Amino acid sequence: MDSIPTPSLPTIIEPATPPPTPDYDVQLESLSQWQIAWRRFRRHRMALIGSTLFFSMVLIGIIGPLIFQFDWYKIPTPDVHVNAGRPPSLAHPMGETGRLQWDVLTLVVNGIRFSLLIGVIASGMGAIIGTIVGGVAGYFGGWTDTILMRIVDALLALPLLFVILVFTKFLGSGSWISVTVIFGLFGWLGIARLVRAVILSLREGEYVDAARAAGVSDRRIIFRHLIPNALSPIIVATTLGVAGVIIGEAFVSFLGFGVGQETPTLGNILAGSLGFISQGNWWWAFFPGFAIVIIVLGINFMGDGLRDALDPRAKI
Amino acid sequence: MTETAAVHDRRAGVGEVLLDVRDLKTYFHVMDGTVKAVDGVSFTLRKGGRLALVGESGCGKSVTALSIMRLIETPPGEFAGGEILFDGQDVLKLDDRAIRKVRGGEIAMIFQEPMTSLNPVMSVGDQIIEAVLLHQKVDKKGAHDIAVAALQDVGVADPKRRVKQYPHELSGGMRQRIMIAMALSCNPKLIIADEPTTALDVTIQRQILELIKTIQERTGAALLLITHDLGVVAETVDEVAVMYAGRVVETGTVEEVLLHPRMPYTRGLLESIPSQAKRGQRLSAIKGTVPNPFRMPSGCKFAPRCPYAWDICSESEPDLIQLGSERTARCWLNDPRYHDRLEAYEASRPGGHG
């Protein structure tokens, strides 16, 4: 006997996974916005690849220097007869540099450490300054907004690269901390604009009126109510900013204006290799360059993943 | 115990004027000129009293409420005149610190949109706790307990779990209950409810109104209800002030105003309520629209839309004419000189409102 065909419901695309915990059970635990974002981030393949790349570089940057210590004043005994570097060997898997014959592996792991430090700290500084400036400008509006944003416009109108070159040359004296601070002090402009725009729309929300009606102060509204709501784009921009600073630092150091040779960064390792590439010392340039590519690629993938995970409208 | 004592004290004070708005003028300076959103509004509210501000969209009722809380942004807004005496002090003259003490502590406000009036990234408990910490001398633990108790008070089941939840996990009615819990958590003397039920399902509306009323009666706070819904008015408050084009046009007790409107605008509003009795008939509406704020008519602002208007109405605007101790109306019909016209107006009363 023909059974009545049961109309098949459209299957939800998740066949491979074991039967999910029932909805009502999930609903019982409170998920904050961040927990939801984290769940989505975990499901984002590019984000996982990106963060794996990035965090393994971070791990190398933390552990590497402990194993391969770098001391500017402990020059390895160079072969006085050979000025050029030596290709990768078992003892030196990334080869040795020309001139002083540093171990490239040692340089690279230390370079990763400092490049990441510079990137993260400078980008974080920029994010903090930019968030405060943008938040204040967006919330108060009027003259405050006009003045702050015209300052941003004026700074953006400067050819920033040259300004940074000049600053690093005259104020930097080659220390990595001062280079970091300079990048931080000039890195907040984009974030300030972004945060201002976001706050400008958020402040019209009724919960802002409700908070004001409850007697909450302006400062608290900006920092406890508005900025947490604006955190998603700030996080994305800051993450991508790390990559920008790392490239920027590499560029500045490459030109010889950045961090001095006593502190290896991926940029100044590359700078050192410049005169030796023509002699076929590819390993000196390749490994630090490759490290930059991996870090930046990892950050960019991660940033894209974060953008998707933090966007409440995106369905993943 | 102390709370009941406070409530008792407050009950004892019933009858004293709590809120006295005098000739309030709130203007907005915009690109095209000045919008006189509130233009000479006066009304009083007694301790423990219940008053509704009624009117169409754009009549200035919400701006009046926001002015009392001083939540109008200046600029573009401007308090062009008048005073708002709350408990004897002029709200408009308070400095920033003092006004923040009043907001939430003395006057609490319930907003129209429960879906958007809670911060999406803070748990509802944290939002109530924030308000409590601002106005009461308690520690975090104490504030948490007050928050839980407040949620219990407004009929939220399992409040200990709810405080940890985020707004997106709650329904509209539930969120409005939380807004009410937030409002009552600091024992305010005045609760302003700005269209508290407009955004809710009809079935929830009644519950929320009942809740507001119960809370108001139990705490002895006064209630200022902003609404366009005369049905809500009849069920919830004792007194009504009808607003039109930035002015109060009629005041009185609910029975007086709803049963014997002395201003044609109020009658128009009453007639536009859809009701069972009028089934099958065309819904009546007040013809025309609210006047353009930049081109206000020179006489009575309602004259162009008023079916009873005559020459004088477009020539000069009447004052609020005193009709009884608590009853006023801004209409020439109430002028003794036009007694015959008033009789005609009364006689023309359509059935159903007698």
pLDDT, tens digit, 9 for 90 and up, residues B318-342 = 888 888 778 888 888 888 787 777 7
Question: What distance in Å separates the CA atoms of residue B251 and residue B241, rounded to the nearest whole number?
Answer: 4
pLDDT of residue A151: 92
For residues B258, B262, B265 and B270, what is the CA-based torsion angle, rounded to 10 degrees? Answer: 20
Interchain CB distance below 8 Å, B135 and A213: no
Q: Is the preceding peptide bond at B75 cis, omega within 30 degrees of 0?
A: yes
pLDDT of residue B103: 87
Interchain CB distance below 8 Å, B120 and A207: yes
Q: Which residues of A36-47 are buried (b: 16+ CB within 10 A; e: fewer)?
A: ebeebbeebeeb
Q: Give residue-wise pLDDT tens across range A171-227.
A: 756 788 888 888 888 889 989 999 999 999 888 888 888 888 888 888 889 988 888
Of A81-95, B4-18, B224-238, B268-282, which range is least confident?
B4-18
Contacts of A213 in chain B (CB under 8 A): 69, 71, 103-104, 108-109, 111
ipTM, interface predicted TM-score of the complex: 0.78
Nearest to B163 by CA among B132, B205, B190, B204: B132
List, as ranges, residues 165-224 from A with C-beta within 8 Å of B.
205-207, 209-217, 220, 224
Q: Give residue-wise pLDDT tens across range B208-234.
A: 888 888 888 888 888 899 988 888 888
Contacts of B117 in chain A (CB under 8 A): 206-207, 209-210
Pick from B100, B111, B182: which is nearest to A209 by CB?
B111
CB count within 10 Å of CB B338 equals 16
Q: Give residue-wise pLDDT tens across range B121-171.
A: 888 888 888 888 888 888 888 888 888 888 888 888 888 888 888 888 888
Pick from B111, B116, B134: which is nearest to A215 by CB?
B134
Pick from A27, A213, A224: which is nearest to B103 by CB?
A213
Pair of tokens at residue A76 = 């390895």
Interchain CB distance below 8 Å, B117 and A212: no
Number of H helices, E strands in chain B: 13, 12
Q: Tell me: pLDDT of A150 over 90.
A: yes
pLDDT of residue A29: 57
Pick from B117, B120, B165: which is nearest to A229 by CB?
B120
Angstrom CA distances, B143 to B127, B134, B182, stand at: 11, 10, 11
B80 contact partners, CB below 8 Å, separation of at least 6: B25, B26, B27, B36
CB count within 10 Å of CB A226 equals 25
Kindly report the length of chain B: 354
CB count within 10 Å of CB B164 equals 14
pLDDT of residue A149: 93
pLDDT of residue A25: 42
Contacts of A30 in chain B (CB under 8 A): 123, 161, 164-166, 169
List strands edge to edge, sheet with B222-227: B107-110, B190-194, B222-227, B50-54, B239-244, B247-253, B327-329, B321-324
Interchain CB distance below 8 Å, A206 and B166: no
Q: Tell me: pLDDT of A27 over 60.
A: no
Q: Tell me: pLDDT of A148 over 90.
A: yes
Query: Residue B277: which pLDDT band, with cuts at 50, 70 and 90?
Result: low
Average pLDDT over residues A63-79: 74
CA distance B184 to chain A (A): 11
Nearest to A61 by CA among A288, A277, A309: A288
Q: What percent of chain A is modeled with pLDDT above 70?
A: 83
Q: Which amino acid is at A155?
A: L
Query: Residue B106: which pLDDT band, with cuts at 50, 70 and 90?
Result: confident
Query: Residue B309: which pLDDT band, with cuts at 50, 70 and 90?
Result: confident
Kindly report the length of chain A: 316
Average pLDDT over residues A57-77: 78
CB count within 10 Å of CB A21 equals 8
Q: Pairing mode, if any, of strands B50-54 and B222-227? A: parallel
Q: Give residue-wise pLDDT tens across range B237-265.
A: 888 888 888 888 888 888 888 888 888 88
Question: Who wins on pLDDT, A312 or B117?
Answer: B117
Q: Tell me: pLDDT of A251 over 70.
A: yes
Contact A225/B at CB under 8 A: yes
Number of H helices, E strands in chain A: 13, 0
CB count within 10 Å of CB B336 equals 7
How would you class B100 by CB atoms within 10 Å of its CB: exposed for 0-12, middle for 13-18, buried for 19 or more?
buried
Angstrom CA distances, A189 to A56, A153, A155, A179, stand at: 30, 8, 8, 17
How would you class A66 by CB atoms within 10 Å of its CB: exposed for 0-12, middle for 13-18, buried for 19 or more?
exposed
Pick from A206, A211, A215: which is nearest to B135 by CB?
A215
CA distance B301 to chain A (A): 31
Query: Residue A142: which pLDDT band, with cuts at 50, 70 and 90?
Result: confident
Contacts of B131 in chain A (CB under 8 A): 214-216
Mean pLDDT of all residues in chain A? Answer: 79
Q: Which helix (H) or strand (E) holds A206?
A: helix A206-213
Interchain CB distance below 8 Å, A215 and B119: no
Q: What percent of chain B is modeled with pLDDT above 70?
A: 92
